Structures are given as C-alpha cells and as structure tokens.
Amino acid sequence: MDGELMSSAEQELAALAVINGLDPDQVFGSERVESEVVEPSVAENLSKSGDEAEEVYESCGEREEVESGGEEMEEEKMEEEKEDESENEGELNSKGRVYVVVQVQRYQAIIAPVGGRRVPWPHFVSVRDDLPSARTERPLQIGDLLELKQYDWREGFSFLLNVEDGADITAWLNNGQIKAQAVAKEVSLMELKLAQPAVGIVLEVNYGVGGKVKSLTVMSALLRMRQRMYPRQFVGGFDESWAVTGMVVLLDIVQLNRPADWKVGMGYTLPKSSPFGTGDERSAHRPAVAVGIRPSPIRHEFPFRAEHGNELVKQGEEVMATGMAACSDKQESELNRFTVTVTPSTVDDQNETATFEIQCHWERKEELVDMCKVWRQDQPISMALVGPDDAKPCGHGFVSMVRREELQFGYVLVAQIFVVFQEIKNYNSWEDWELIKEGNSQVRIKPLQSLEVFQRRIDLLLQHQPSEMAADESARGQIVASILARTEARAEPELTWEELADRPELSRMIEGQRETARLMLDPIPRICKQMAPPGTGKTDVATRIMLAILRENLEARVLYVAPMNVAVVRAVQQMAENMEEIGWREPMLALFAGSGKAKYREEIAHIGDHLLASAVRAPHLLDGLDVQKKRVVQRYLTACESSPRTANEGKVAGILMGKEKRRLIFSTLSLAEQIGGLLSEFEVIILDEAGQASSVQVLSMLTNFPALKKLLVTGDDHQLGVNLQEVPEAVREKCGVDTILENLQIAAAVDKTVLSVNFRSHPAITECIEEAAYAPHGLRLVSGRTVEQMNMLTGLSGIKLPSVGIPLVLIHQTSPMVPDPTSFSQSNPGQTETVMALIKELFPRFPGTIRVVCLYAGQASEIGQAIAAQTAEHPDWARIIIATGDSTQGHESDAVIVVTTSTGGGESADAFWNHPRRVNVALSRPRHALFVIGDLAHLWKAEGIWQRFLRKALERTIVVAPNFVEAMFHPNACVVNGILADSDGLPVKSLDFYDFFPEGRQYSVPLKDYPERSMRGPTARGAGGPIRQPRGQRNFTRGSERRCWNCEGVGHMAFECPSRRGGQGMAGPSRGFRPRRGF
C-alpha cells in the first residue's frame, strides 16, 4: 500500500464479505499479523485481544475533572493546521497536529485527528497512561484535545481495514476495541473536557471470562445512544453490588464540540470526517458522551408516594426521562438493524406507484423473528437507490404482506411493499425510480418510525414540567398533583345522586356508575379512576357523563381519548346511541392517525359521518377557505381515499378548528398527545382503556391542556397493560412506561370507583370470570343479564350441550404441540382440527359473531390458514375473527372459542399462557357462548387463574372429549346411562380428565331433557351392554379416513403434512389421538 490507506472500493469489498457472512481471513487466505511495538514497555498491553482488554481491573484512582485554560479554536483554524504536515513518518512537525481522544482502553487512550487524516500521519494513535507528556490530574477521557508531536508506527498496523474482521490487513476494530496504528512518543495537552453529572440507568451487565464484569451498558437522557462503560471509567473503583440491570447510577457527561459533527458508537466516538466506521454509529452534532460512572445517591421510587419529597420527584422525572431515552434508543437500533439492501422485483407497476417483492435470508431463526417484529404489515418504509454517491429516497410506502419460510439451510422473509414515488427538489429521483422498477438495481429499504414523541417526553421530563404543573394552583395543576401524590385526598362531592337521577342521560345508571357521575359532575377539579371489569359498561358510562356535561354547560368542551382505534370507534357509536335515546344532538368529530385509518378502515367506516373528512367536505367550510388552505384540504381528502397513511390529520383538523367550534371530539391517545395544542381549550378529558396507557404518555398529553378541570381514567387493573416487549427490560419498572392505573391506585388524592355489574356475558360465564380473575382481589362481578336474554346458543333448535342451558363447553384434548418452524411459537394441529369441526357445526346455525382466541400466535396462524383454505367452499367463513389473547382486548363477540394449545409437560406453570391478565382477557370476550379447548388437566395442575376458572365451571357443566362436537347437533345423539353420547354411542364426557380429577365425579349434570336411550340391548354399533369410550382414543373422530386441512390430501393429518416445515412433515405416529374425517 506504500503509506496509503485502502481505497474506498477495497474497503467496500471487504465490508460486503463480512455483511454476507464471509470471513475475510479465509477469503484472502492469510492470517493477520500482530507485530511488535516499538516501545517494549507497552507492547504487552497494546497487543492484548479485545476480550482481555475489557477485563475488570483495579481503578486508576480518584479522577478529578480539569478545566483547560486554553481557548477553543475555530474550525477554520483547525483546517489551517493540516497544511504544514511533515512528509517523513515519525518526524516532529513544527506545529504538530491536533488530535482528540475517541476511546479509552485499559492502559491507554486512542486518539484520532480532529480534521481528518492526511498521509503520512496515522489515524489512530495510542497514548499510554505512563507517557510523561500526557500525565495530568486524571486519566485522559473521550473528548480531550491533544497536539501530537512525535509517534512511532506499529509494524503491521500502518493500514487498517474498515471492517470488524481483517484479512492480510488488520481490522480497525476488534471486539469493540480500536486498533492503534502508531504509539505516541510526545504530546501536548490542549483541552481537558469538564464533566457534569447526569442520571443514568444500567441497561446491561456484560460479563467476561470467569464471570467477572467487563463492562456496563448504560443510558442517559442526554446521550445520543447507549454507551458501554469499561473499568477504566468506573470512578472511585468498582463494586459489583451496584452493577445490576435497572440500577440508577450517576454518569459523568461531557459535550463534544471540536469537531462539531461526530459518529457516536457504543464504546467510542469518531469525528464525522473519519473514513472508519461500522455503519451502526449515529450521526450527532455536538453530542454528549459518558466518560465516567459511579453509584448514585438517588433513592428512586415510582409510582410516587405522599412521603416522597419534591426533590425526589424531580430526580424521578430525570430517571423517567432516561427510561424514555432507552426506549427511543432501542427503537432506533432495531430500525437501523433491519434496514436492508436488496434487489427487489416489481410485482405491479402503476407508473408513480408500484408493488415490489423482496427476500431477506437469515441463518438463524432468532434473526428472522427479530426482523418480523419490525417488518410487520403496515410498517412504513422508505426506498433509495444504492449507488456510488449517497442517493436520496425516491419512494415511500408500507409493507403490504409478510411471509416467512424455512429453507433447507436457514430462513427467508418474503415481503411485498407498496411504494409511492417521491419527488425531491433539485434531485432527479425519477431516474432512480425507473431504475428500481427495472428490477436490476440494489435498493436500500429502511423501516420508518417517528422518534419525535420520545424526544418530546424526554424534554418535558428533563424540564420538570409535570412537577412544575403540580405546583401550580390551577385546576390542571391540582389534577397533576393528584397523579404525582403531591396533594391530599379531595373532599366528598356535595352533589347527591338524587339531584342527578332525573336527568335522562343518567337515569339508567346503577351502583358504581352513579358514584362516577357524582364525582365528574361535581364542580371541584378532580381526577377519578374508575375500575371497570369486562362488560360493566365503562364506555356507556363515559359517554353518558360526557352528554351530561355538554347539556349542563353549553360552553363546555369534552375530549374522549383511548389508546386503541377500535375503542374510539366504539365510543362514537355508543355516544350516537345515547344521543338518539334522549333526543339530543351535538356534532361529533373523530380523529385518527393515518396508520389507524388504513389498518382499521372497515371499523372506522362505520362512523364515517363523524370523521374529519366528512366535516371538511361541507360546502360552507370549503367556500370560506383561502386558496392555500383549500388546496391542503383537497390533498387530505384525496389521501383519505387513496393513501390514508399519508393524510395529515393534525393540519386539517387545525383548519377546521379555526373555522368551527367543536365541543365534542374523539381521538386516539397518541394523536391527542401530538396535536393536543389544537385542543388546548378543552376542559374535560375521558381516558378509556387506560390499562394500555403509560404514566409518561398521560403526563405528556396533559401538558397540552391548560384549561383542564376534570379527568376520568377508566380501565381494568386485572387485564393486559402496556405492551412492554419493545421496552428494554431494565426500564420496564419504575420508569413510568407501564400502565397509569398502577400509579393512580396508590395516589390518595385520586377518587376511585368500581363497577361490578357485567352486562356483556351469560350469567354462567360471568360467575366463572368473577371466581377466576376478580374474587382473589376482593372484587365482585355479578351478572346484569338473565339467561333468557343471553340464549343465542342455548336457544338453538336441536342443540345438545354438556349441561342443559349452560353455554359453557370445556373440551379436553391432549394432542401434542408442534413447534412453529419459523418462530418460537407453537401450534396444536389436533386442537386446530377440533376448532375447524366446531366451526363447521356451529357457523351455519349460530346467528351471531364468532371469534377464535389463541394463546399462541403460531396457533392463531395455523387456524387462520385453515379457515382461509375453506373460504372457497364457505365464503362466509371470512367473517370469523382469529386473534391472539394479546390482540383481542377491547373486543367482544357472541361466541368465543379459546384455544390453549399447551399440553402436559410442555411448559412450566408460570408460562405466559397462565398469566392472569392474559387469561382474563381471553375468557371474558364472549356474550352468549364460551368454548375452551385444551389439555384441561394440564391447565388445572398449573393452578392460578386456570384452576379457579375450571373449579367454578365444573359446578355448572362437565368436561367433554372432542367427539362432543359431532354430538352437539347430531339427531342420533342421546343420553346413555345418564351421560350424553354421540351418534356412535360413545360418551362425550372426557374419561381421561376425570381419571386425573376423580373428585369431579361428584358434579351431577341434569341431562333428562335429552332423549334417553338404554344401551343394554343391541346398540347402534351392534355391541351389547353399555359402551365406554376407550382410554387413549378420546379425541374427536368422524371416521377412519385421514384428511389434511392444510393440503386437502388424504392419508395424513395437518401436523404430518409434507408441506409443513419446509417440505418435511412430522415423522412418527399421531401420538395417541385419533384422526377424523375432513371437511
């Protein structure tokens, strides 16, 4: 190379080898040479491997930050220093050269030139701790400026490869440690950065050989990205007692301002002009970086309590801000990780729009699963051509389809993306667009996600806005003070129910509903938490209270918000019904983000008259707008029809609000947080489904509403809360990212009410839900319906249930689970077969809606595919809803089939399928009928919520085998010796389950309403005497023919199908359960 760095082309070729899983050492056929260092005293330290360099060592002693007396030089002056550099290696230049510390290692600091490298000066130089000219009151740290005067090249390190793994040229980075090209012999200190303390959180503890802590991964609200702190940076020594994930620490933070622009990595920071980098660094202007870490004196607790002082609350806000920064950092890391470079094929070309298909191959299932978490249906993306120069995105769109497959070696994710051409000023993006559509060009596709909301929350928490609002004497200040436990309990409302009972919108309220109405209609500023179990009418209560406020005060303005789009739709529908009931009209406006309008288009269409698009179509509004605003509205209306995701709801809502006063608005919580400034005059807020709203999000939203006087927060403490899967584990607790309900429950100044009458479900179902989910917490849940009202299943002609008049069916099935080949989920093909048989029997006869709720995503996928395969023969089956337990909260259906998948020995009792909140959601969705399919003995042994549910259910019904499905409507099914039997005379009672649970035999279920047939004479099967279902063969059977629902082939079942698992079916016998006839 003769003194010059590798060309950019050579670096790109080597990088491509690494990206594609190739080892450059093997590709080039030679080994990297570790040469001796000129200075023997430091040779041992400089040649250590990355792992050895990260081992724990004793601290270098107390570190004090020294403020340099030198003045900061302008960047123009920095450029002047580059001109008179020596042509001879290692020779002292008359001026030297300005370098900055970019990484600290065990016995040395690594420095790099401030303004970019010029041959022959080295790019990375080590400055050892014992270098006399570098000695100061503290070790060197990132950001310190030095003038390099003399150095010696390291043999074999003159040229570095810009990838992690080197070939015959040494890589610049090895296990996170930068390799130095030269060793400094003389430096001059120019500026030592002054550090400031900041709150941080330990995200990960990284262990080395022997279980010793080698580094800590930390985050602060001031950092550009998470950073790795090494033993050299442990201030005052290291104590493993505070190296705990989630521990609050103090970080020493410095701001880098010379140069101004940087590339920030986890363990190093490079000037933007540096030719080196992994691609994972983040660009930043004058970034803050951590240079030291120490234990924190902060005693952080959250939720806040009355005994916590105001100073502790302010410190807590900084911890919460750090939690938000960790969330933002993880989100950005995942987006960057799964930005892919591919050659897409064009599926459909409509000139300025096109659909492309891409394939991404992975060796490990973990990588495929992680990518699918980002590359989900409706995920926004941008597309840019990969070329010699940095091309700009020429198209934006979204993921329209995702499919994953198992190959013989590895996995593949196949995705289709719908992209709209994006015109860019002063750039020929159309040429790029045409090249991409030809199908022969490499394209960089980046998933998009706005991180602005995280930054907004970080800023308001660092500015202590919540605690400052709490100190305000305004009505909003009193409400925020109640949330932060900064005030005492409120006085009881003077308003009595008798004064409200005559109002038509309130007259139907009962018990806890009345108490909520009293609190919300009382003139004193309040926040009320309403605990509302499933089916207790919380949305109805909320809309009736909103009506009462609007009718009482003609100047009042009320906002309804909820985290879920479907909840907003349901609230609008409920409000319309309540208005019609009392003969009152008030214009409603429902606002949805673009992604919500696209994903829930069908549901939102039901309230089309109340959407923003309908409001701005009014002629009187359009006629009153100037040309520019009229053009904005027209673009919005066009986008609502053709590309809802691009419709700017906030901007057009601002135009409407500037022309009309709207008193009643419905919105998603996220949108209200973003555009809340448009709604600043609203005085009353109803927050529904609050279990899925985080404390930080609610506090952020409230900063937009200075006129707030009342806040009703309604939800269920015992159903699913905020989805924390995308939140770093270290900040899931005590950082305000979980549900606001936990915070409000312990706040003394928050008024609390409880609803306890279920108007959704059949009384027998309500009893079981109460026993399983609410009685353990001392809560009641009683039915507000009669059996006559909830008879959609029990009133069907010819139906035979395990217990007469009880729409609760427990099907015991022990067929084996099968791993999903492209995820870590499971399915149970035997239970899928039972679901399909049940739907075939039930769907033609049952007039209501049917929902299948699966505790495993793999099971939901399998059943979804089975139903899709049947839609050609049964088109109406497309109306059947398939959902997971996590996605079904907030929904309800007339009949619900819960599929548990798990079988005995599969998992431990603390598995996710036994999580009380998840199970509660699954079991509480039905109105008229509930079917549970699973290994009920396994569920019973897991104890907890499943055992409580089954114990109560067995007071009303019996456990049956899968052959019950055929008997349910079969005309020849009858009672045999007091037990319901199918058409073959086999009892539907699950003898397997009762062998495990003998005490269950005491439950006697009256079956006398069904035809009795003695089995002591000749039977339908030609055998004499009573027939007993053979043990070990008690799963549903319709005959000997074996047909697969997956491929419609005969002779095997779905879990044995060759089309599963990449062409290799599941070998071996069917493990004890009998096949049945296909559909």
CATH number at residue 705: 3.40.50.300
748, 797: one domain: no
Which residues in the chain come in under a pLDDT of 50? 1-94, 164-167, 1004-1008, 1013-1043, 1045-1046, 1054-1055, 1060-1079
580, 593: one domain: no
The pLDDT score that the predictor gives to residue 1034 is 42
CA quadruple 754, 759, 760, 762: dihedral, nearest 10: 120
Residue ending a domain, choose from 634, 662, 690? 662
Distance CA 825, CA 564 (A): 25
581, 711: one domain: yes
687, 697: one domain: yes
- Which is nearest to 97 in space by CA: 87, 75, 112? 112
Residue ending a domain, choose from 709, 728, 755? 755
At residue 606, what are phi and psi to the nearest 5 degrees?
-65, -20
600, 578: one domain: no
Distance CA 418, CA 851 (A): 30
Residue ending a domain, choose from 247, 282, 304? 304
State the number of CA atoms in the 13 A half-sphere of 925 facing the CB: 31
699, 793: one domain: no
* Domain extent for 573: 454-585+670-755
Task: Answer whether residue 1064 is part of any domain.
Answer: no
Whole-Å CA distances, 825 to 398, 413, 859: 26, 17, 8
Contact yes or no for 772/923 (Cβ under 8 A)? yes
Tens of pLDDT, residue by residue over 915-963, are 999 999 999 999 999 999 999 999 999 889 999 999 999 999 999 999 9
436, 459: one domain: no
The pLDDT score that the predictor gives to residue 51 is 36
1011, 914: one domain: yes
151, 288: one domain: no
Distance CA 591, CA 673 (A): 12
Contact yes or no for 442/20 (Cβ under 8 A)? no
562, 615: one domain: no
The pLDDT score that the predictor gives to residue 16 is 34
Task: Answer whether residue 387 is part of any domain.
Answer: yes
Contact yes or no for 286/439 (Cβ under 8 A)? no
Task: Answer whether residue 242 is part of any domain.
Answer: yes
Considering its fold, how many domains does the chain have in total? 6
731, 614: one domain: no
The pLDDT score that the predictor gives to residue 426 is 86
Distance CA 419, CA 353 (A): 6
For helices 365-374 and 310-337, give the axis angle rounded to 10 degrees.
110
The pLDDT score that the predictor gives to residue 598 is 78
Percent of the chain with pLDDT strictly greater than 90 = 66
598, 742: one domain: no
Task: Answer whether residue 997 is part of any domain.
Answer: yes
pTM listed for this prediction: 0.82
Average pLDDT of the chain is: 84
